[in-house]
Amino acid sequence: MQLPQFTELHAKQLSTFLDTQPQAMTLLQSQGYLFGVICSPEPLDVHEWLDTILSNKANDLDEETLFLFMALYHQISEQVFEAGYKLPANYDIYFCKSWSEGFLQATTMYTQKLLDAPQLEVQYKEALESAQATLSFFALDEQIISQIAAQNLMDEQLLCLQQYELMGDFALGFAELVEIVALNSGLYTDEGWDD
C-alpha cells in the first residue's frame, strides 16, 4: 500500500473529520498521541490507536480517511526515527495543550510500567520522569501552571515559552530515551516485552 505524503490539505481534511466525531480527539491531540504511541516499546496495531483517537469508532472509517490517518502516522514515524521530530517553530498555547494531552494519554501506561520495573536504575527513572513531565507540561491545569510560575517568581508567559523550548529538545530524543530505559528495565529485550 502506497501511502500519500501527508500534506496541509490532508491535515485540514482530518481535522474537519475529527471535529464531526463525538468524543474523538482533535487533530493536535492525535498528533501528540501518535508521537507517544510511535515512541512506545510496545507497539499498538492500527486499530488499537485508531480506536483510542476515534473513541471506539475505528470500524466505521472509510478507506480514504483510514489512508489519511495512516499517512499521518507514517509522517510522524519518519520524523521520530529519521528526520528528528520537530514541534512547530512558534509557541501556541492551544497547540501545546492539545498535543500534551494526546502525548500523556499515549505514554502514561508504558512509562508507568517502566518506572515500576524493580531493576531500573534511578538515573533512568529520573530521565524518563523528567522527559514525560516536560512533554506533558501543558496538559496540566492552567491554575497549576500559574502556581508553578508564582513559586518560581516567573512570568507565566515566560515559563510557558521556556517549557516549549524544552519540549522541543525532549521531543527530539524521546524515542531513543524510551528505548534505552526499556532495555535497562529488564522488562524488554530486543525481541519484545517479557511478561
Q: Which CATH architecture has domain 8-193?
A: Up-down Bundle (1.20)
Closest by Cα among 35, 15, 192, 164 to 97: 164
88 class by beta-carbon count within 10 Å (0-12 exposed, 13-18 middle, 19+ buried): exposed
Q: Is the four-CA dihedral 190, 99, 167, 80 of positive or negative sign? A: positive
pLDDT at position 68: 92
What is the percentage of the chain residues whose pLDDT exceeds 70? 94
pLDDT at position 64: 87
pLDDT at position 136: 96
At a CB cut-off of 8 Å and minimum separation 6, what does 107 contact?
36, 39, 40, 132, 135, 136
Distance CA(88)–CA(52), nearest Å, equals 24
Reported as a single tens digit per residue, the pLDDT across 141-190 is 999 999 999 998 999 999 999 999 999 999 999 999 999 999 999 887 76
pLDDT at position 2: 61
Grade residue 193 by pLDDT with cuts at 50, 70 and 90: very low
pTM of this structure: 0.91
Domain parsing of the chain, residue ranges: 8-193
